[in-house]
Structures are given as structure tokens and as C-alpha cells.
Amino acid sequence: MIDGYYAFLSTRPNGFCIIKLIESSTNSCSRLVGQLDIRNKSEIETDNWGILKIKKIKDKVTWQDVLPPMIAFLNQ
């Protein structure tokens, strides 16, 4: 929970990282109350888990890894 709201992490569309804050009610109906863009943050403080550290890792996939299997698949 963040600021008393349930929090859900969304990584869609590609390149985005958003925390959606959801308010729940007694009648089982929930609503979106806010969004936090955390792409440029290094940590988030939660109500029940303390401080969460955010670490960005660059994807190490190169064309040399991807291209040969694609060519083999297309040649079938």
C-alpha cells in the first residue's frame, strides 16, 4: 500500500513503469485514484513494506543473439 491505497505496477506500454493507486470500498467496487510515474525514481516508500529500491538494468540482447534463430525459422 502507498498512501493508504492499493498499488499495482504496470510496465505497459514498453518503456513505461507506472504504479496505479486503487481505492477499494466495502461494496467490492474499486476505482483508480492516481498514477505514479516511477521511471526516474530510485526508491518508493510504502505503508506496509518500507522503502522499495528501484534498480534499472539495461537489456543485453544484441542482434547477434537474435538474428540467427530468426533466419533459421524463416528458412524452414
The pLDDT tens digits for 2-59 are 888 888 888 887 778 898 988 887 777 788 888 888 888 888 888 888 898 888 777 7
User: What is the model's pTM?
Assistant: 0.60
Residue 26 lies inside a defined structural domain of this protein? yes
Q: Which domain holds residue 51?
A: 6-74
64 falls within a domain:
yes
Q: Answer yes or no: is 68 within a domain.
A: yes
The CA distance from 7 to 51, in Å, is: 14
Q: C-alpha cell of 45? A: 516508500
pLDDT of residue 75: 92
Count of domains forming the chain:
1
Tell me what pLDDT residue 73 has: 92
CA separation for the pair 46, 9 (Å, rounded):
13
| Residue 1 located in a structural domain | no
